[in-house]
Amino acid sequence: MARRKTVNKTGILRVEGIPYHDAWVAYKCVSCQEMNYVQVGQQLLTPQEAIENAVWKCENCGYVHSKETDLPFDNWEEEYNSADSTTALRFWEGFFRIATEHPESYWKQCNVCTRILPFNAFSKHSDWGPLEKQMECRSCKGAINAVLNPKRTKEQLHESAVRRRIADLFLEEENESIDFKDLFKRFDGRCFKTKEPLDINKRDTWAIDHILPSKYLYPLKKENAALLSRSANENKRDKWPSKFYTNNELIDLAKITGANIALISSKHPIMNHNIDVNRGVERYLQVREKSDLPKRIKEIKKILQVYDLVENLSAENKKLLGFK
């Protein structure tokens, strides 16, 4: 039976013919400084393979990037530019290693906007090609989600809002004030994800990422705060850190913030049970006279069960909420 065609529900179409699993190499021409892109397919090159076999011709000036090519540097002694020299060989080894050393070194083509973008411009998708990245870049994914999210049911939207409200109440006295100047100093004034420079005075262009999301009941503290551009933070949202940051980024993040590397690198979210659940319950049940108290009780009971926090309740609150 023929497979049913996927129905496009967003009006944002993918471009036919884009090899969405393929990896690309991007490099700046040694001679003219123009960016070039080489499609390497679904088998990543090792640095040694690239050094031994690569012949990358600049599309702008025709300069050939290969270990057999003389270097074009006017500020070097002529003998150092010769392809036969040790200096040139070492240069070419470094050149090809930079482009191929890690999966993070590679680029990918978005099958929506068609741009060829760095590894980190795509969200993770396990078992999808050699880079394990989604078909569309995070920019296009954000646009697609902007269309899809309003289509969520009223029940889904309400439950999501309830979870956020309860999480905020649980963390109300746990959150710490973040020193913006210190944050910018620690992250060198750049978005940790994209490395783009940020202006501390342009508050609408940057955001503080809860590395461990408040969704899982982690408060905002110095060791749980990262500096991101507004767009990167929108892509991160409430993702668990290992679902958004690469392994190398997680290591760097732990070094910068003092975060627990074992915790933030966990493959699956881990709920924070080290909070005052009883105080959170008391806050949630402080309602106005005309509020729907039974509805509130039902909501808090469901969240406590989903979050596996029932055992953290006092005997008095267990009895109050009807838990045995």
Q: pLDDT exceeding 90 applies to what percent of the chain?
A: 54
Encoding tokens for residue 201?
A: 């005075």
User: How far apart are the C-alpha atoms of 82 and 227, rounded to whole Å?
Assistant: 45
Is 3:137 a contact under the CB 8 Å cutoff?
no
Q: In the predicted model, is pLDDT for residue 6 greater than 50?
A: no
Q: Is residue 25 a contact partner of residue 51, using CB atoms and an 8 Å limit?
A: no
Tens of pLDDT, residue by residue over 242-252, are: 999 999 999 99
Determine the angle formed by the axes of helices 293-306 and 154-171, rounding to 10 degrees. 80
Q: What crossing angle do the helices spanning 277-284 and 154-171 adopt, rounded to 10°? A: 120
Q: What are the φ/ψ torsions at residue 27 (nearest 5 degrees)?
A: -150, 155
Tens-digit pLDDT profile for residues 76-112 = 999 999 999 999 999 999 999 999 999 999 999 999 9
Long-range contacts of 282-289 (CB under 8 A, 24+ apart): 283/169, 283/172, 284/165, 284/166, 284/169
What are the structural domain ranges in the chain? Answer: 23-142, 175-264
Taking only the tens place, the pLDDT of each residue in 111-169 is 999 999 999 899 887 667 889 888 899 999 888 888 876 665 666 656 666 667 777 77
State the pLDDT confidence band at 238, using cuts at 50, 70 and 90. Answer: confident
Helix axis angle, 277-284 to 293-306, nearest 10°:
160
Of 22-31, 74-83, 305-314, minimum mean pLDDT range:
305-314
Contact in structure between 167 and 175 (CB atoms under 8 Å): no
Q: Are 279 and 217 in contact (CB under 8 A)?
A: no
Average pLDDT, the chain: 87
Number of helices (H), then strands (E), belonging to the chain: the values are 12, 8
Q: Tell me the pTM.
A: 0.51
